[in-house]
Structure formats: C-alpha cells, structure tokens
Structure 1
Amino acid sequence: MKIIPVPCLEDNYSYLIIDEISNEAAAVDPVEPEKVLRICQEIGCQLKIILTTHHHWDHAGGNEKMKELVPGITVYGGSLDNVKGCTNKLENGDKLLLSNDISILALHTPCHTNGHISYYVTGKADEVPAVFTGDTLFIAGCGKFFEGTAEQMYRSLCVTLGSLPKPTWVYCGHEYTVSNLLFAQTVEPENTKLAQKLAWANQQRQSGLPTVPSTIEEEWETNPFMRAELPEMQEKVGCKSAVEAIQKIRNQKDNWRR
C-alpha cells in the first residue's frame, strides 16, 4: 500500500491510496481532479473509487468533474451528508475493498459536519494502517463545530479515532499543523513533545514538504483536543469533563490569532 499526498487549492490535501501490486487506486477528496488524474497517469495506476470525507466544496467539489473524466467511477460519501456527486452512501462500520489486499472501513466522525466519514485503511498484515480524517482530526487540532456538538467531537476524536492502533498513520484534510501547534503551546506550554513537533513542522514547511502523516500516538501526545480527556488537562483549562474541556479549547482556538 502506497499513499501519495496531493496538495490542492491553498492548503488542502487530497490523497491517492495505491495497491502497488494491482495498481488499483482510491482518491480521497480529489478537489482538483485533473491534478489527481495526472499523478495517476504518471505512476501508472488505475483510479477505481473516490472516498469523500464530507460535503464541503473544498473536499467534495471535484466529484462531478471526476465522474466526467472517469466514467462509471464509484463515489462514496456519508449517508447523513449531502455529498456532491455521491453514488454510494456509507454508514458507520461499512467496509469496502479497494483490491485483494487493501480494505477500507467507514467511520462516522460527526461534528464538523453531520455525516463526516473518516476512512480507516488496512493493507497486508505487516503494513501500518492509515486513517484519512478530513476535517475532523487535524494534526494537533480539530475542525470547527459547524454542524455538531462538543460531545460529538469528543466521541469522534477520543473514542472512534482515538481507539485505533497507536501506530496508525493520520492523513488529514488541511496543512494547518504549524498554526495548530502554536496554539497548542498556549494551552500546554510545558509539553516538550509539542515543542519538538513544532520545530520539525517548521523545518518541513520551510523545505516545502508536507507535515502529513502524523500518528494516533503523536496526536494523543500533542493534540489538545484529544488530550482534553486527561484529568490534568481538564484541570488546566478549568473544566470537569473532557466534553467541557474540548468546548472551552475550541472556543479559545476560534478566538486565537497568531
């Protein structure tokens, strides 16, 4: 299994998930279809399916064009989201096969949108799995609560995604990492893991490289929204529950400026 990040628009990421044996591929949120298909052509893979995380234009806006360019392609999206171009609606726990060796599990991760889906992808037994989290989980951050509640974000981050194996690669929908880490330091300035990751992320960006992927383990160590589950973090922000702490940290982030 090979994963290729495809920078799109100003700070979005689309992704190609490729079976290197069969050369079959899935595209996650291909908002710039021509760019995604050009990469497919360059590496000689055949695009079979589209995985849409949620209905916002900068994620689903390329679906209709992709259907024109690849007639008959299957476009997946959450059953509770009005995903443009969707041909097959997914419920939590639905399983797909990209190829004989790569399977995809749909995880309902609502809050940013009601029907947001994250995609947990597994290959052969010796391969590290990956999860494509759209705008639910960012590196050191989370999406705005446009259509949901702090309770939903808590469950999406700390229960659904947080229960995945710690080595799981995390591929998110935007390049927000440096900004997210700078904010996280205002919440938890003594966290040395944050400082180390911020130094690394700055170096990546200065070199023109992406900061994806992260891992579930790194998010537990550096993401203030996931760390809101820790009693010490709740005490730090003056809250008595993870849900309350997530809401308070989100409010602070919404009003924070670099």
Structure 2
Amino acid sequence: MPLEIVTVPCLSDNYAYLANDPATGATMVVDVPEAAAILNALAEREWHASHILITHHHDDHIAGVRALAAATGARVIGAAADAHRLPHLDEAVAPGDTIRIGMFEGRVIDVSGHTIGHVAYYFPDAGAVFTADSLMALGCGRVFEGTPAMMWDSLSRLAALPPETLVYSGHEYAQSNARFALTIEPDNPALISRANAIAEARNAGRPTVPTTLSHELATNPFLRANLPGVKELIGMPGASDAEAFAEIRGRKDRF
C-alpha cells in the first residue's frame, strides 16, 4: 500500500506534510509551522501523528512542534547538527542515517546552504523527498548561513535522485520563481509551459507542490546551472557549476 501524503497549507505561504502508512497507521508530520492546521488535518482523516520530522531551525518550520508533540505524543526527529536550535529531539539524526515510519524507510540527506544543518528526508519506496527550503518548485532557498558552493553541492545530491521522485518543498513560491526563471531561460519551452500551468493552478487556488524532480531538472534554473547553454545565457561560458549557480542565486536575491 502506498504512503498517503497530504499537503497542509500553514501561515501565509508555508506547507507542512502528513504522510500516513495505511498498513500500520503510522503517520509522520514534516515540519510544523503551526499546530492547529495540522491537528485539524489529522482529525479530518482520523490519523494519529506518530513522528514529527524537522528539516531546519527556522521558526516558520518549527513554531508548532512543541504543541503538536504535546497533543499527540509524536516522536520528534531532527538533525543532530541543528539540535541546539531545535525543540527537544527524541531522535537526533545525521546525514546517511535511516529512519522508519511504519513500513517505510527514509534516508537523511544533508542539504546545508539555506541553513547549516538543514536536512531533507528521502523515502525511496514512496518515491518522495521532503526538501523544505533547499530545493523548491522552480527555485531554491536563499543562502543564509552556508555558501553558494555548499548549496550547489546540496542541490546536486537531490538532483541525483530518480527523476520520477516527488519533491515536497516548504513554501508556495512557484509563481514568483517562474517569473524569475523566465529571465534566465526565456525561450525554454518546458519552462514556458510550466509557468502557464502554475499560473492556472494558483488562480484556481491549487498548490503547486509536489512537483517532480524531472520537472525541476527541465525548468529550475538553480538545478540547470551546470548546463553549458545556461552558462552562455548568463554570460559565464567558462564558469564552474558552483560559480554559475552563485550568479543565478545572486540575481534571484536582487529580483
């Protein structure tokens, strides 16, 4: 039976995720911007949170962790490297570690750059990766604590996952990200089509996540910084991949 994943809008533009294993009833929550929205979503489905997975320490991802853990008794899991900035962890994990939610095994991936100690959670049997503020739909997180080279390495790790992987990111930024992406590759037909689909989805009030890694590889300028054609378009034909990524990230910061 597949892992059933539900997108929960929180705050103004955040997403949390519920993932339920029907075979065991185990339910994980990935990030908790606020507890009330998640408790309501759990109650609607008659699911009980057994695990809370934290991706990084920013308040819009952890503000509701203590309240949700107190209400449900869920086991809180987060990165050992970030533990000093997270709510109390029942399990501190490191990149390469595995975690089990019911019948599903997940792998912890280091995606530092946006913050140091940011992790993603990849569940191969579910074909899903929870990336929060690392890889996003048509974008990536701003580099606050790491370096552009560090962020490029993190995105490269995610880009190496199977292309059919579903990417569950932490915010609804796709429409603004699409506008920026078109300044980098204005003639990319896949990007033009995707930008139109995103506009249609947002006009209808639908979320743009999850996306697929294959869509990101075809349209996301931050994952395409290694391509000679993209380097030509940004005027850096001889640049390293990390240098090209840094230029694109800088342009997005000023966009």
TM-score, structure 1 normalization:
0.93
Q: Which moves more between the two structures, 221-230 or 62-71?
A: 62-71
Aligned to 1:80: 81
Unaligned 5+ runs, structure 1: none
Between the aligned partners of 1:62 and 1:121, the Cα distance in structure 2 is 24
Are 1:190 and 2:183 an aligned pair?
no
Q: Which moves more between the two structures, 247-256 or 227-236?
A: 227-236
Cα drift, residue 21 of structure 1: 2.4
The code of the aligned residue for 2:248 comes to I
Cα drift, residue 246 of structure 1: 0.8
Q: Which moves more between the two structures, 162-171 or 36-45?
A: 36-45
Between the aligned partners of 2:244 and 2:86, the Cα distance in structure 1 is 31
Aligned to 2:130: 132
- Count of residues in correspondence between the two structures: 249
Contact 1:63 1:85 in 2 (8 A): no
Contact 2:25 2:102 in 1 (8 A): no
Between the aligned partners of 2:87 and 2:241, the Cα distance in structure 1 is 34
Which runs of structure 2 are paired with 1:1-258 in the superposition (5 Å)? Answer: 1-71=3-73, 73-81=74-82, 82-100=85-103, 102-123=104-125, 128-158=126-156, 160-239=157-236, 240-256=239-255
The code of the aligned residue for 2:147 comes to T
Q: Between the two proteins, what is the percent identity of the paired residues?
A: 39
Cα drift, residue 79 of structure 1: 1.7
Which 4+ runs in 1 deviate beyond 6 A? Answer: none
Cα drift, residue 69 of structure 1: 1.1
Q: CA RMSD in A?
A: 1.1
C-alpha deviations, 1:155-203, integer Å up to 9, x for none?
1112x10110000000100000010011000011010111111111111
Cα drift, residue 23 of structure 1: 2.1
Cα drift, residue 103 of structure 1: 1.3
Contact 2:48 2:72 in 1 (8 A): no
Cα drift, residue 229 of structure 1: 1.1
Between the aligned partners of 2:24 and 2:203, the Cα distance in structure 1 is 36
Cα drift, residue 44 of structure 1: 1.8
C-alpha deviations, 1:97-153, integer Å up to 9, x for none?
1012x1111101000010001010133xxxx50001000011111001100011111
